[in-house]
Structure 1
Amino acid sequence: MSSQKYAVNQHLIETLLSWVKSGEIAIPEIQRPFVWDATKVRDLMDSLYQGFPVGYIIAWRNPTVKLKDGSLAEGKKVLIDGQQRVTALTAAIAGQQVINQDYQQVRIRIAFHPIEERFEVSNPAIEKDKAWFADIAPIVSGELKAHKVGRDYLELNPDVDEDLLYERLDRLCDITKKQVGLIELAADLDIETVTEIFIRINSKGVVLSQADFAMSKIAANEEFDGNTLRKAIDYFCHLSIAPEFYAHIENNDKAFVQTDYFRSMRWLKNENDDLYDPSYSDMLRVAFTTKFNRGRLSDLVGLLSGRNFETRTYEKEIEEASFKTLGEGIKEFINETHFKRFLMIIRSAGYVDSSMIGSVNALNFAYMLYLKLKRDLGNNPNIESWVRRWFVMSLLTGRYSGSPESRFDKDIKAVDERPFADVMQEIEAAELSDAFWDFGLPQSLTTSSVNAPAIKVFWAAQANRGDKGFLSKDITVRDMLTHHGDIHHIFPKGFLKGEGLQRGKYNQVANYVFVQQEVNIKIGATAPATYMTDVFTQCETGVARYGAITRLDDLRANLAANCLPEDLAAYAPEQFDVFLAERRKLMAQKIKQYYWGL
């Protein structure tokens, strides 16, 4: 099997179902419950009845592990593709309940009309109709004998041809004798190869992430309570987006309600903060990286299988320890004090809205860093400043853009092996030199994208400093970011269009400021030199026309906070390019002062 990456075999559906029942095939619930519509279950039954192919399912055999006494235990097959089909089979044929999208246990009952050879999702009308078998499960599974079912049906439908009925019943019961293809991937394959095989086989173009594989390993491990751990991750993600889901868990999963995991996440039922709504992939990354000092999720998959990276063998003790350690990491992640304290740190850096955070990986590593430093250094007063700076540095430099795993791996190892102050100082010296602040950062502000990290850091700097919006006396940039206020073109868009400028030019981020809506409307397409002259005039007359600023000192402070010149000549149309270049430099310097003040 070592040279052959996988084996392909046809198996009877009854064999497949017996493996599921015995646990030989583990069906992980991965991230979500059974998502198929009941009509898709009906269609699957119809395809099997007609003898049509229903595709392959893919399983990845867990490696054989060495037990404490030296003996070996054969690994189970973990289903990684075909979960919904196998769940549909167990529901329709074996009569097992499924977890629906509301996390309630329900039965999917498929009805069969033997004369018309038609399948339907059972409903009250069908149940009353004597021409239908309202639920095929007890018939196909053999719980009810076909001859007894047929006899009862003929009593209710005396006009039906007896031979035809029994022929149809035989065909129905033969569904379990139909075959399904099983592609079994070798236990010793690495996760990258498994991913490649999965992508090539899966015609739908679905890509399984390494987090999916890890969740499969977790959910399929009953021995170390993996399914409870899987639920803790899944439920936390769900609750962080929909706190009202709390009642569903309480009502439908009594066993989980008794766990420490549930007690640790109860606080989410009253939480509506959406600054950081982690996915299960985010939770796994953070918990794994902080507890194992490794950044690659493929290593987590190996550890959850019991992999000894030195001897390249698989050992039950490592598997058990890995589940225990990961569980501790998840509890740290969902701890109310940790989570809220971390969000407070991010908010204090000026990141007051989730739309400002362009890289969830930067947020993930910042939380990793916070949890690790908190665990290693206790209440060191520098932790909050370090986390703020690392987070902003990551965003400014695109540290975790693209594929973050190798960077996570290097960074967490550096943080684990050396004093953090030294690591931070070294990275800042390399990444945030004078050349970066004077040339690199202004250059990265030469963009028309409001999603560019540099402009978002600038707005965070304004929020952090408590700056007022352009021409605002009282309303802050922080308020406008929180309530998604107006972004105004200092050189108005309509004005620049009239001057013949193209969109990429007038939409430069250095031409943007946050402004109150009424001020934005009032300015309209007025030439900047014109409305700015009026603004200075209103500070002499005391009669406000644009905004509420009527004192010259307040106006100067407002312009400085928004990195804008006082000189009216700078707002002349022919000065537009110079204006943008100068403002980028001022914005970069503001970001620099903000960063070192974190």
Structure 2
Amino acid sequence: MSTGENSVTRVSFDSTKKPLEELLKQARAGTLQLPDFQRSWVWRDDSLRAILASVSRSFPVGTLMTLQTGGDVNFKPRPIEGTPTNAGTIAPDALVLDGQQRITSLYQLTMRQEVVVTRDVKKQPISRWYYIDMKAALDPQVDREAAIIGVREDRTELRGFEVVRDLSTQEREFEQCMFPTNKIFDSDQWQMGFANHWKFDQEKMTLWFAFANELLAAFRQYQMPVIALDRSTSREAVCLVFEKVNTGGEKLDAFELLTAIYAASEFDLRTDWRGGGEAGDGRAKRIASGIPFPKNALTQLQATDFLQAVSLLYSLERRRSHRGSSEPPAVTAKRDDLLRIPLDRYKELAPRIEAGFVAAGRLLFSQHVYGVKDLPYQSQLVPFAVIFADLAADADKHDVKQKLLRWWWCGVFGELYGSAIESRFARDVQEVPAWVNGGEEPSTIRDATFRSERLDTMTSRLSAAYKGVHVLLMQAGAKDFRTGQAFSHMVYFGENVDIHHVFPRAWCEANKIKRSAYDNIINKTPLFYKSNRTIGGSAPSTYLGRLLKEKAIDSVAEQDAVISTHGINPKLLRMDNFDAFCAERREELLKLIEGATGKAAYRGEAAPTEDAPLGLAESDEDQEDEIVEDAGELAANDLESA
């Protein structure tokens, strides 16, 4: 027995070898099963023949990892596919954590007495009976895999429309010396039939004994390495094991594991989240529909986000119930702690968290965070939902909302939710409600700093602060250059609003302006898609005249007023004065950020931190602008020469 332990994980296991036949018999009996969340068996015909060939030559086919049942992690079991129906009525002794595809394949190939339903190389479903060509298998000049064939459900093999092999009766199997793989561990009756068919012919009996001694013995003597995790293995260790061993399959996260744990108590977490059938809409859809617009900020919420929020609220209330204790339990949203949420507490807290996400999303929507692409940090929604759930009706008060928004913007412009977020989750869900109720400012507000030069390196949506400036401009009343319309939610979704260059890239490059100077948030602003196409690649002094000709804005004075809503001095645009424009716009953006965070921006000098190396086309509108600006330049030339 080997044991590895620390304060976080605990793994107890045996590393040994077990006869393949014993493992397959355990699967048939139901004492070896799968956790219910394991994906279905999916191996193709070529993979099946390959594993048979490997075992027949005593080659390694990988290690099986199992978990002893009856411990802290109580997964709902599921029989291995193809095993008898009564296998599902047995309480298993162990569950297969890794090696499901191999053990299922070998069971269906060697023990199941029914046709194998698999897929061909084109992933089309096919049904096959598998055989070993006895003579070819013993021929050292023949590749072992080539000696293993699969025939159709009627036990024939076609070439075009011609039957080239017919194994539809046992006599035909004997005649062609084709041994069915599902007799490998139970060959006595087939052997007697083979001997009787050939009347104990010496040559055929020699063939049989050579085949049995080399091929069948390889299967019967095959020892499969097994790592058997003891029932005392901790939940986090099991979660880590799945992440490490399941790299070739679907990702199994805490949601999938908790789904299997709750399933043991007859609760379907997957349906609770995703909905379907008689259950109707799940929590995911109900949360997303809390804002009645497509692609809103709640539409990409993940199941693990929801579980983290439940875990935070659960552990927060546990900690409060231990107030005065020398060691109260921690507030946490770590992976292993998600697996510890009791089902009864999940059922109690989930509706509150659901309402919390909707409330947080609606508040952000009111602040012009309309679409998911404009959400600075998906992760910050998690503590936001918990805070709303914890504050309950108090969160509807105006002064409370103002505090919550200040906390939100400090997280965004302090860029505090990009890494090490679990510890910040825990602090914020404790500190923000306490602050609302008269306590100290939360550490997220204290920690937030914004430096002026950061604006120079905010080049794309990779930056939460970049998206934050975009939202603040819309919130401050910015209007579209071409139409003069403010960016209401109706306009936003109907006009394909995005962030675009003020001084177009084509013009900047033609005037030898460095990319580091023109390709940042200072030189970008929200605009309609059509407005950006009209602007093209022309100088501001040129495209402003072109925009006026569209007659949506009546005068130069009105146009100047529209431009000013973006924190831009229109005179500097009409003069094509890029440097002066950047200097003034920088200050205007800093004022917006200071207003949102309630903290002064730092205007001293410091080394910048870039979102991504310039030159990698990291701007969101780069590719679009290459087309739009070239087209716009041509249009501008046409207008000027007309």
TM-score, normalised by the number of residues in structure 2: 0.64
Give the CA deviation at 1:198: 7.7
Task: Flag the 1:218–1:493 CA change in 2: closer, same or farther, 3 A.
Answer: closer
Paired position in structure 2 for 1:457? 468
Shift of 1:419: 5.9
Name the structure 2 match of 1:71: none
Partner of 2:584: 582
Q: Kindly report which structure 2 residues correspond to 1:23-172, keeping only aligned pairs within 5 A, or say none.
A: 27-30=34-37, 33-34=40-41, 36-37=43-44, 39-60=46-67, 64=71, 77=94, 79-89=96-106, 92=109, 110-115=128-133, 118-119=147-148, 123=152, 130-131=166-167, 139=183, 147=189, 151=193, 164=207, 171=215
Shift in Å at residue 564 of structure 1? 0.8
Using the alignment, how far apart are the partners of 1:225 and 1:33 within structure 2?
A: 20
**Deviations for 1:263-298, whole angstroms, at most 9, x for unmatched residues?**
767869999944433334323222222223332434
| Contact 1:458 1:591 (8 Å CA) reproduced | yes
User: C-alpha displacement at 1:495, in angstroms?
Assistant: 1.5
Distance in 2, matches of 1:154 and 1:64, equals 53
Given the alignment, which residue of 307, 316, 320 partners 1:284?
Answer: 307
Identity of aligned residues (%): 17
Residue aligned with 2:16, SS: strand
Could you list the per-position Cα deviations for residues 485-539 of structure 1 after superposition, in whole angstroms to 9, with x for gaps in the alignment? Answer: 464322221111122233333212211123344443443332224444x37xx8x
Separation of aligned partners in 1, 2:332 and 2:118: 34
When the two structures are aligned, how many residues end up with a matched partner? 522
Aligned to 2:482: 471
1:353 aligns with 2:371: yes
Partners of 2:53 and 2:504 in 1: CA distance: 63
Q: Given the superposition, is the C-alpha separation of residues 379 and 545 from structure 1 closer, same or farther in structure 2, using an over 3 Å criterion?
A: closer
Residues in 1 aligned to 2:549 and 2:192: alpha-carbon distance in whole angstroms:
88
Amino acid at match of 2:513: L
Structure 1 pair 126/393, CA: closer, same or farther in 2 (3 Å)?
A: farther
The residue that corresponds to 1:295 in the other structure is 332
Does the Cα contact within 8 Å between 1:28 and 1:220 map onto a contact in 2?
no
Distance 1:24 1:339, change over 3 A: farther
Q: Label 1:440 to 1:345 Cα distance change in 2 as closer, same or farther (>3 A).
A: same
Match of 1:563 in 2: 567
Q: Superposition RMSD on alpha carbons, in Å? A: 5.1
Q: What is the TM-score of this pair, normalised by structure 1? A: 0.68
> Deviations 1:282-319 (Å, cap 9, x if unpaired)?
23222222223332434426736xxxxxxxxxxxxxxx
Counterpart Cα distance in 2 of 1:149 and 1:274: 66
Question: In the alignment, does 2:518 pair up with 1:506?
Answer: yes
1:98–1:283 distance in 2 versus 1, CA, 3 Å: farther
Deviation at 1:461, TM superposition (A): 2.4
Residues 45, 410 of structure 1: CA spacing in aligned structure 2 closer, same or farther, 3 A cutoff?
Answer: farther
Q: Unaligned regions of 5+ residues in structure 2, if any?
A: 5-10, 75-90, 138-146, 158-164, 317-330, 599-642
**Structure 1: 5+ residue runs without aligned partners?**
68-73, 240-245, 251-256, 305-321, 539-543
Q: 1:43: Cα distance to partner?
A: 3.5
Instruction: Specify the alignment match of 1:181 in structure 2.
Output: 225
Aligned twin of 1:225: 266
Q: Secondary structure at the match of 2:253?
A: helix
Q: Does 1:525 align with 2:542?
A: no
Structure number, greater radius of gyration? 2
Q: Secondary structure at the match of 1:351?
A: coil
Q: In the aligned structure 2, how far is the partner of 1:567 from the partner of 1:378?
A: 44
| Matching residue's letter, 1:288 | S
Structure 1 position 389, deviation (Å): 4.7
2:346 to 326, 332, 350: 326
Query: Is the CA contact (8 Å cut-off) linking 2:483 and 2:553 kept in structure 1?
Result: yes
Label 1:354 to 1:506 Cα distance change in 2 as closer, same or farther (>3 A).
same
Offset, 1:354: 1.7
> What amino acid maps onto 1:524 in structure 2?
G
- 1:278-427 paired onto structure 2 within 5 Å: 278-293=301-316, 294-300=331-337, 303=340, 322-330=342-350, 340-374=358-392, 388-414=405-431, 418=434, 420-422=436-438, 425-427=441-443
Letter in 1 for 2:343: F
The 1-side partners of 2:192 and 2:399 are apart by 78
Q: CA deviation at 1:174?
A: 6.6
Partner of 2:503: 491
Tell me the distance in 1 between the aligned counterparts of 2:559 and 2:16.
77
In the TM superposition, residue 415 of structure 1 has moved relative to its aligned partner by: 5.4
Report SS of the residue matched to 1:325. helix
SS of 2:369's equivalent in the other structure is: coil
Distance in 1, matches of 2:339 and 2:563, equals 56
Local SS of the residue matching 1:469 = coil
Give me the whole-angstrom Cα distance separating, in 2, the residues matched to 1:140 and 1:475. 76
Paired with 1:60 and 1:526, the residues of 2 have a C-alpha distance of 67
The residue type equivalent to 2:558 in the other structure is D
1:265–1:66 CA distance, 2 compared to 1 (3 A) = closer
Q: Which residue of 2 aligns with 1:317?
A: none
Instruction: Check the 8 A contact 1:519/1:547 in 2, yes or no.
Output: no
- Aligned partners of 1:445 and 1:455 also within 8 Å: no
